Structure 1
Amino acid sequence: MCSVPRKIIHIDMDAFFASVEQRDAPELRGRPVAVGGARARGVVAAASYEARAFGVRSAMPSVTAVRRCPDLVFVKPRFEVYAAISRQIRAIFADYTDLIEPLSLDEAYLDVSEDRHALGSAQAIAEQIRARIKAETQLTASAGVSYNKFIAKLASDQNKPDGICVIPPGKGPAFVGSLPVKRFHGVGPVTAAKMARLGIETGADLRERSIDWLRAHFGSYADYLYGAARGIDDRPVRAHRQAKSVGAERTFETNLDDPAAIREALARVADAAWVRIERSGARGRTVTLKVRRADFHTITRAKSGLVPIADRAHFTAVGESLLAPLLPVAGGIRLLGLTMSAIVRDEEDVQPALPL
């Protein structure tokens, strides 16, 4: 355990992709904007705050987004532009610390325990970084400042957009206790629903459960939950972390048994995964399909190429080729996942596959 509290900043750009498009096209400012697929097919890679007011979110199917916001404006993504701006922002980070752990093109952890410019506090460093990002890119960023990564990430979302939230060591447990567990990183919709059935809605509810009880209900995940509920997270900021994989998976409310419906569901999962792949800025050579049957038996199939996956169509096609020999599936399918690995670019870090 770290004897002296670290000083951790989590920087998260505000609606990054959509904000870049609104910055570069003044006619889009103030309008609900979705970066991503066409209105009829595809998924939303990012949504402006105007679109989010209607319930539009990233990884949402485009048709659903249009139903929620009929005036939604779709913009073709320009990932090379986002990556260039991300490098510009990362150069700002590097003026303050060498301990930078990117999570994607638009967010990163910084360990500023060493006050390189003698600014006096992590909050002052975060404020200066935010001011420089705004001055140099005309974009806004939100920041969470705390003594560990878990709380810093929660804090960065607290006062969005263009805000900052500072949680000192003495206030960490109370802050975590006040939040709904569905906001905890790693607690997806399925886990949150299970917790709700068990009477756990907030961090305070989670803190009341013993480690033995948590292990009985959540297995190996229990230790993380036990620490998180108490504001404990000893993970260091890992500079230049090696990317391993990025993807998406979806658990279905009712099992899918029709081959056409399964293939259509895989295409949606591939679309959502590709959003995360593009956001990560990484490329890989291996595609892995994950299929969980109705009886909870899980099947994985993988295929590797000599060169990185070039685009969404190639990624989807490989996934379909892995799925085809498995159909039909007796009893149906309750989960599908598609992941890219064997990363060949380590300039950008990636996030693990998370439930949609």
Structure 2
Amino acid sequence: MTLIRKIIHVDMDAFFASVEQLDHPEYRGKPLAVGGNKERGVVAAASYEARKFGVRSAMASRLAAKKCPSLIFVKPRFERYKEISLEIRKIFLDYTDLVEPLSLDEAFLDVTVNHFGLPSATLIAKEIRQRIKTETGLNASAGISYNKFLAKVASDLNKPNGQAVITPEKAEAFLEKLPIEKFFGIGRVTAEKMKSLGIHNGHDLKQYSLAFLTGRFGKSGLHYYEIVRGIHNSEVKPDRIRKSLGVESTFENDLMDISAILDSLKEKILPEFFRRLERNQARGRTLTLKIKYNDFTVHTRSRTFAEPIPLDSMENLSLDLAQQEAITNPVRLLGVSLSNLSRSDEPGEQLKIRY
């Protein structure tokens, strides 16, 4: 007999914005955006009050301000968000060691076998959400199902501050009605391609054979064929392998020349970059410089080495990469990242970030 897994996906509600409202009572009940300002930048997170006006994360802050003239912009405080995220992670670990963080504000938990021997994943999710509220003052939503994909979809059904269950018996009917863009692994471009083929929901997708889907979508075709049938065997993995680590910043005023770019790298970008490398004990073999111009075109330059790059070489290497770029327009964003990672204390082993 095949064991049916019990997977919970916990997703904090408007996490960054909710933390700001928690710490600053004057922001509560008001439309709030974390990141950017009324003139430039990008919204990192929006409160539910702001979302009523159509403000969303990843939206240009100037557009967000037009949609909601009373919108309050605050600078992100990632150290504070990480502090609370770690408190929440400790709650998860009270119930199971199988916790897979996706970001600071969401994680999968496999509670098939749990520390308390509790038989109901639904009740475990409810208890976890209550503990998060009691211990941090924040609301969380949760989804419960027999695989990660369905649990993640379920966590969005009763937001904010709710939870939903998709049982094996209900999965097929649920998936047939699900809009195609809601399927895990189907982004905007793929969704548009599918709609051009007449695939608008799970029922439509289910009509196509594996041969057709792999012919049109390559290796991803197998994934689409399986998930519409409720098949998603990915396990909850406690150690997530991080592919890169970096820092980037959008400037209030565009940088007009190479001198300003070099100064910003030395004074703002690289100091924070080095702090993150040290905090995560990260080393890597590929250093990449990212430049976004004010017309939103993005250029990257990188160097890869056979061995991990020494810390004391990274500043000069970053500056050298910048000087290789022909500055064609004013620059609105700079970033530096390190990839092909390994831990500084474990040469050759790919970096595993523990939250």
Greater relative CO (CA pairs within 8 A, separation 6+): 1
- Into which bin does the TM-score normalised by the smaller protein fall? 0.7 to 0.9
Shift of 1:119: 2.9
- In the alignment, the residues of structure 1 paired with residue 50 and residue 321 of structure 2 have an alpha-carbon distance, to the nearest angstrom, of 32
Question: In the TM superposition, what are the counterparts of 1:60-79 in structure 2 within 5 Å?
Answer: 60-79=59-78
Instruction: Please tell me whether the aligned partners of residues 100 and 237 of structure 1 are also in contact (alpha carbons under 8 angstroms).
Output: yes
Shift of 1:289: 7.5
Task: Map Cα deviations across residues 51-93 of structure 1 (whole Å, 9 max, x no partner).
Answer: 1112211111211211222211101111001001000000000
Structure 1 residues 29, 326: closer, same or farther in 2, change over 3 A? closer
Question: In the TM superposition, what are the counterparts of 1:34-53 in structure 2 within 5 Å?
Answer: 34-53=33-52
- Bigger Rg over Cα: 2
Partner of 2:149: 150
Shift of 1:130: 0.5
- The secondary structure found in structure 1 opposite 2:219 is helix
Shift of 1:118: 3.1
Instruction: Please tell me whether the aligned partners of residues 178 and 202 of structure 2 are also in contact (alpha carbons under 8 angstroms).
Output: yes
The size of the alignment, in residue pairs, is 300
Partner of 2:114: 115
Partner of 1:250: none
Structure 1 residues 326, 130: closer, same or farther in 2, change over 3 A? same
Structure 1 residues 341, 216: closer, same or farther in 2, change over 3 A? same
Instruction: Please tell me whether the aligned partners of residues 13 and 140 of structure 1 are also in contact (alpha carbons under 8 angstroms).
Output: yes
Structure 1 residues 184, 348: closer, same or farther in 2, change over 3 A? farther
- Asked if 1:235 is matched to 2:241, the reply is no
Cα root mean square deviation, aligned: 3.5
Task: Map Cα deviations across residues 130-170 of structure 1 (whole Å, 9 max, x no partner).
Answer: 01000000001000000000100000111100010011111
Shift of 1:339: 6.9
Task: Map Cα deviations across residues 177-230 of structure 1 (whole Å, 9 max, x no partner).
Answer: 211111122221111111111111111111111111111211111011111111
- In the alignment, the residues of structure 2 paired with residue 39 and residue 82 of structure 1 have an alpha-carbon distance, to the nearest angstrom, of 23
- In the alignment, the residues of structure 1 paired with residue 326 and residue 202 of structure 2 have an alpha-carbon distance, to the nearest angstrom, of 44
Structure 1 residues 85, 200: closer, same or farther in 2, change over 3 A? same
Q: Structure 2 length normalisation: TM-score?
A: 0.75
- The secondary structure found in structure 1 opposite 2:113 is coil
Question: In the TM superposition, what are the counterparts of 1:297-308 in structure 2 within 5 Å?
Answer: 301-303=301-303, 306-307=310-311
- In the alignment, the residues of structure 2 paired with residue 39 and residue 175 of structure 1 have an alpha-carbon distance, to the nearest angstrom, of 41
- In the alignment, the residues of structure 2 paired with residue 348 and residue 56 of structure 1 have an alpha-carbon distance, to the nearest angstrom, of 32
- Structure 1 counterpart of 2:325, which letter? A
Task: Map Cα deviations across residues 235-255 of structure 1 (whole Å, 9 max, x no partner).
Answer: 1101112211379xxxxxxxx
- In the alignment, the residues of structure 2 paired with residue 324 and residue 300 of structure 1 have an alpha-carbon distance, to the nearest angstrom, of 9
Shift of 1:319: 12
Instruction: Please tell me whether the aligned partners of residues 289 and 323 of structure 1 are also in contact (alpha carbons under 8 angstroms).
Output: no
Question: In the TM superposition, what are the counterparts of 1:1-356 in structure 2 within 5 Å?
Answer: 3-245=2-244, 286-288=286-288, 301-303=301-303, 306-307=310-311, 321=322, 324=325, 341-343=339-341, 346-348=352-354
Structure 1 residues 29, 226: closer, same or farther in 2, change over 3 A? same
Q: Structure 1 length normalisation: TM-score?
A: 0.75
* Identity between Structure 1 and Structure 2 (%): 52
Shift of 1:322: 9.3
- In the alignment, the residues of structure 1 paired with residue 68 and residue 98 of structure 2 have an alpha-carbon distance, to the nearest angstrom, of 41
Shift of 1:347: 3.4
Structure 1 residues 85, 217: closer, same or farther in 2, change over 3 A? same
Task: Map Cα deviations across residues 271-306 of structure 1 (whole Å, 9 max, x no partner).
Answer: xxx9xxx9xx97776455899xxxxxxx98523664
Structure 1 residues 10, 319: closer, same or farther in 2, change over 3 A? farther
Instruction: Please tell me whether the aligned partners of residues 301 and 321 of structure 2 are also in contact (alpha carbons under 8 angstroms).
Output: no
Shift of 1:37: 1.8
- The secondary structure found in structure 2 opposite 1:93 is helix
Instruction: Please tell me whether the aligned partners of residues 319 and 338 of structure 1 are also in contact (alpha carbons under 8 angstroms).
Output: no
- In the alignment, the residues of structure 2 paired with residue 13 and residue 155 of structure 1 have an alpha-carbon distance, to the nearest angstrom, of 14
- In the alignment, the residues of structure 1 paired with residue 9 and residue 319 of structure 2 have an alpha-carbon distance, to the nearest angstrom, of 35
Partner of 2:263: none
Shift of 1:5: 1.1
Instruction: Please tell me whether the aligned partners of residues 289 and 319 of structure 1 are also in contact (alpha carbons under 8 angstroms).
Output: no
- In the alignment, the residues of structure 2 paired with residue 10 and residue 320 of structure 1 have an alpha-carbon distance, to the nearest angstrom, of 41
Shift of 1:94: 0.4
Structure 1: segments with no counterpart, 5+ residues: 248-273, 292-298, 329-336, 350-356
- In the alignment, the residues of structure 1 paired with residue 204 and residue 324 of structure 2 have an alpha-carbon distance, to the nearest angstrom, of 41
- Structure 2 counterpart of 1:211, which letter? L
- Structure 1 counterpart of 2:39, which letter? A
Shift of 1:307: 4.0
- Structure 2 counterpart of 1:92, which letter? I
Instruction: Please tell me whether the aligned partners of residues 301 and 322 of structure 1 are also in contact (alpha carbons under 8 angstroms).
Output: no
Shift of 1:325: 6.1
Q: Which moved more, 1:137-146 or 1:42-51?
A: 42-51
